[in-house]
Amino acid sequence: MAGASLLTLLDDIASILDDVALMSKVAAKKTVGVLGDDLALNAQQVSGVSSERELPVVWAVAMGSFRNKLVLVPAAMLISAFIPWAVTPLLMLGGLFLCFEGFEKLHHSYSHRRKAGSRGGAVNEPIRHGTAPGMELTPEPEAATTQADAPPAGAADPLLAHVATLRAQERQKVKGAIRTDFVLSAEIIAITLGTVADAGLWTQFATLSIIAVIMTLGVYGLVAAIVKLDDVGLYLSRRAPQHFMALPGRRLGRLLLLSAPKLMKTLTLVGTAAMFMVGGGILTHGLHFLGDKIAWVAEVVSRIALLGPGLAFFTPSLLNGLFGIMVGGVCLLLLTGIQRLRG
């Protein structure tokens, strides 16, 4: 009897694991679109830090992403079980945040360039590997140091102050990336939950957990690889000439060194665009009349000869992005107006 009960239990476990594997596969296919936006966004969020701090920053954001999902998985299951009507409004709040964050980035970038242009100088930005314009460590001729040349006691070291500023900016980048990840993770969890809505409790929990872990490892593993491309290129370009793969390795290294800055600039643009497309897409999905109109426009566009299918594929993303830009602008105007009223 005990043996039969054990076999029945093992059969149930095998059945649940089979369901989990199937559900995870289906959910992964449905969330792969968000994965691309997530990758571009997070690569953009952690760009601009010094080379030696890139991997620690990616690690910090990845740990924050895991913490987000530790909160989101049980919260999503509870909301789905007790107040399922709240899922869409909560996601729409996240969409509003993404649109606002994206528009704020555009506004900040435009204001920064305009101020630099009015001063007639270039925008000062931190240089990779930890130095900033005007603070490069250059060799100086040796000279005897006298008391008159020494800095006064208690004077702040400008290099230390600069390092402290960079670390503060780094912490802000990490916080911003984790906030953005929370919204994208919530969308991934919501899509996955919709896929396993009819499954049992344990199947839902296991599937959500597997997708959460796989997505986090996949996204931040790729982000880490992208931000270290230039270092890989530098290593390959300096390989010893006697190595039998030295010449092709050096060529590949130079190619990576030349392409890495362009790739990061492209990802910055794609990441900002993804904020509007994902945020606008969440909002239009919640506002059904807008979602239906966008679907209708895509259907009309698809009838165009030759170019129709391709245009229909990009039309929803383009319209969602434009709507996201408008919503982000309105949010920024409202917030600015409220701040001015408060004085």
Output the pLDDT for position 327: 95
Write down the pLDDT at residue 273.
87
Domain presence at residue 316: yes
User: Where is average pLDDT lowest: 21-25, 143-147, 165-169?
Assistant: 143-147
Contact assessment for residue 196 and residue 19, using Cβ atoms and an 8 Å cutoff: no
Residue 210 Cα to chain centre, angstroms: 20
Q: Is the pLDDT of residue 279 over 70?
A: yes
In a domain, 139, yes or no: no
Confidence (pLDDT) at 268: 78
Residue 15 has a pLDDT of 53
Task: State the average pLDDT for the chain.
Answer: 76
pLDDT band at 64 (very low <50, low <70, confident <90, very high): very high
Per-residue pLDDT, 130 = 40
Q: Decide: helix, strand or coil at residue 312.
A: helix
Q: At 258, list the tokens.
A: 């030349």
Residue 263 lies in a domain: yes
Residue 123 domain-assigned?
A: no
Which residues lie below 8 Å from residue 205, measured CB to CB, with a gap of 6+? 73, 77
Residue 133 maps to a domain: no
Provide the pLDDT for residue 316: 92
**pTM of the predicted structure, to 2 decimals:** 0.68
Q: Looking at residue 283, what is its pLDDT?
A: 92
Residue 131 within a domain: no
pLDDT for 295 equals 92
Q: Which of 35-44, 97-106, 248-257 has the lowest mean pLDDT?
A: 35-44
Q: State the burial class of residue 227 (Cβ atoms within 10 Å of its Cβ: 0-12, 13-18, 19+).
A: buried
Mean pLDDT of 42-62: 76
DSSP state of 51: G
Burial class (CB in 10 A: 0-12, 13-18, 19+), 232: middle
pLDDT digits (tens, 9 = 90+) for 161-208: 777 877 788 888 888 888 888 888 888 888 888 777 777 788 888 888
Contacts of 19 (CB under 8 A, 6+ apart): 199, 200, 203
pLDDT given at position 139: 43
Contact of 65 with 216, CB cutoff 8 Å = yes
Cα(97)–Cα(94) distance, rounded to whole angstroms? 5
- Average pLDDT of 269-295? 89
Taken in order 210, 212, 213, 214, the sign of the CA dihedral is: positive
- Where in the sequence is the domain holding 28, given as residue range(s)? 2-116+164-342
Q: What is the mean pLDDT of residues 135-142?
A: 41
Question: What per-residue confidence (pLDDT) applies to 135?
Answer: 36
The larger pLDDT score, comparing residue 334 to residue 136, is at: 334
Helices (H), the chain: 2-45, 54-82, 87-119, 158-195, 201-227, 229-237, 246-286, 288-301, 308-342
Which candidate, 331, 283, 267, places its Cα nearest to that of 102? 331
Domain count, the chain: 1
Assess whether pLDDT exceeds 60 at residue 26.
no
pLDDT band per the 50, 70, 90 thresholds, residue 315: very high
Of the candidates 30, 25, 66, the residue with the CA atom closest to the CA atom of residue 190: 30
pLDDT at 148 over 50: no
Give the least confident one: 26-40, 214-228, 259-273, 324-338.
26-40
> Is the confidence at residue 261, as pLDDT, over 70?
yes
Selected residue with higher pLDDT from 92 and 230: 92
